[in-house]
Structure 1
Amino acid sequence: MPKYQVIAADLGAKIRGGELPPGSALPPQKELSASYGVTLATLRQALQQLEADGLLSQQPGRGTFVAEPRAAYRLDSLRGFAEDLRAQGHLVTTQILGQAVGAPPAWAAAHLGERPPAVRLERLRLLAGRPAVHQVSWIRGSALADADLSGTSLYQALADRGVAVHRAREAVRPGALDQAAATLLRQPAGTAAFLSERVTYGLDDRALVADRATILGTMMEIRTERAVTGLTVSWAQSAQL
């Protein structure tokens, strides 16, 4: 095994084992290279690999730090947001900011149809107590108008009422927090974000939920699993390009 991979494996084990906690600074590169008995070039290869793996953050002029862990937003599963993150071992809580029957706006009505009723559900998702996602969902019908969705997945709530989720279509694009989202997520306006629009369909292929979410880019990353018979990924040029 090349020396840089040996160093990367050793430092990676210390990070994952908690010996080097998130936010802690690594010793200076000259000191590290001497302790491992390698050149600076070899050490830097190891640090670059760990940075690519999301374990380190190299900050010019400041040093090298253990990266804060990021939650993964998976595109290859049909689960609710909180379900997905809890399955990864994250502590997720939900604040309900609004839940009422109303007429869907144009973007949601384009999928659900313009005839009310529909439930507007606005939620703030917190990871380990820190705001990470702002979500507005429009749900066909009024059955969930009074449901307690603070600790229950929306998909599970639908299933409990005999409504099966069959598939979902989602588009995710890069963006930045506007002032309203920045206030809710406690970040400066302009902070990097993912903007998601998802439509969930039932067995009859009618849209059940039209959902928009603003996902804080500094706390989340997107991951997919690809296989010959698995996830299909397509690329589309932005209309703004």
Structure 2
Amino acid sequence: MRISWLSADEIAAARAALTAGGATWDDHFGPDFEIPASPPDNRLLDWDRITEHVARAERVSEVVRAHGLDEARARFGTTRIAIEAATLAAAAHEGEELDLDQVIDVLQCPIDTYVFYAPFLELMVAYGKDDVERTVQAYEEFAAAYAAALTNVPHGTERVGAMRDGLADFYVAAGKTDEAEALFERRHDEDQGDVAVALSASRAFLAAGSVSHAVRWLGVGAARAAALGRGALAERLRAKQEVVRRRLS
């Protein structure tokens, strides 16, 4: 289960520095995190945050491996550090002991821009089917916090857009059609150079049985494709629109 945006090479570089000279993960934690020395060939600009992110994940994983999930929960179960909560939740998921409360706990921690949140959003939706209102509220609160945290992060706009697309899809599945339409419209306006949002909206509504909404979004997608000079795609979407429209008769 992937829980970090860091590449394998970035994680390996951080691990090597953190364990240099026989140091343990815990050796770097006192009142504050002790940043390891940067190697001469280091190209990671955010060295302090990357090494702390890796160290926190590794020390949780080490406790799980050495002493089991219960001991890790006893030590880190109340953490408000996102990567620690995410690592603990991933271990619980692997052991088939994860629940909705723990997933939401991960999403309610202050945002760590290096944490890969997608699997936790998917798990929340899966586990929250019997508590839709709570799940919607948690998703919305996370969406607001995530957007605020990624304002100045490289590729942050794209990551926030993808997260909001997921929220719009969830609105459809949760029967919140007005909220879904409003968010899909916003995302379609933001993403002027593509038809992806319209296609996502049409698929989501069609899967939920909202045929009229699916038809409308296929038309929106066709219009955008034509405006972008993608005539062949526009024709395919219009043809698909007619096929789907017949379901209304």
TM > 0.5: no
TM-score, normalised by the number of residues in structure 2 = 0.23
Q: TM-score, normalised by structure 1?
A: 0.23
Which structure has the highest strand share of the two? 1
